[in-house]
Amino acid sequence: MRAPWALLRCIIILMGFWDLFKSKTIHEGEVVDLRERYRVDEKSAYDGVPTVYYDVLRHSDKEKVGTIDLRLNIEGNMYYYGHIGYNILKAFRGNGYAYHACLVLFDIARNEFDMDELIITCSPDNIPSYKTLKKLDGELIELVKVPKGHPLYTIGEKSKYIFRYRIRLDRNDHI
């Protein structure tokens, strides 16, 4: 009786693995496009936060230049991470790709997930990210100390700038 369950489990795992290779939605921007990689719901996420992961593709040639993710809630300790996390590959840094990826993700958050505002954080010593967040024209609401027991603290991130972005001025306004 155990063999059929093992076979079924293998099939389910393979179906999930195959899902990684399926063509995903591409959200186009002027400079970069975001290709959805996968979604994790709150039950599957190690931190309990539903998250959507995207590849950042240069618009002109579709070359992957980085990744970005959208966390759909940031209750509790997730506040220090914010709604958006991004990483631009070293070879492509300094081209404004993070800024443009955030703009595309703002549209996705507003239009697909009906979000009104986003929090994005960065460490004070991360000058490029700080400049990106300032250029995105958010409100710097605070510089916070990360609690000592927090996972960010354990990797050396002891404080965070917290920026708020109001991505919809009016709930009836579909920018």
81-139 pLDDT per residue, tens: 999 999 999 999 999 999 999 999 999 999 999 999 999 999 999 999 999 999 999 99
Query: Is 81 among the domain residues?
Result: yes
Query: Is 86 among the domain residues?
Result: yes
* Number of domains making up the chain: 1
Query: Is 17 among the domain residues?
Result: no
Query: Is 11 among the domain residues?
Result: no
Query: Is 1 among the domain residues?
Result: no
Among 174, 144, 139, residue whose Cα is nearest residue 157: 144
> How far from chain centre, in Å, is Cα 74?
12
For 64, half-sphere exposure in the C-beta direction (CA atoms, 13 angstrom radius) is 10
Burial 66-102 (b: 16+ CB within 10 A, else e): bbbbbbbebeeebbbbbbbebebeeebeeeebbbbbb
SS3 assignment, position 42: coil
Asked whether the predicted pLDDT for residue 163 surpasses 90, the reply is: yes
Q: Which two tokens stand for residue 101?
A: 């990826």
At 51, which CATH number? 3.40.630.30
Q: What is the pTM of this model?
A: 0.83
Query: Is 83 among the domain residues?
Result: yes
Query: Is 140 among the domain residues?
Result: yes
Query: Is 116 among the domain residues?
Result: yes
* Domain enclosing residue 77, as ranges: 24-166
Torsion angles phi and psi, residue 121, rounded to 5:
-120, 160
Q: Where are the alpha helices (DSSP H) in the chain?
A: 2-19, 97-111, 127-135, 151-154
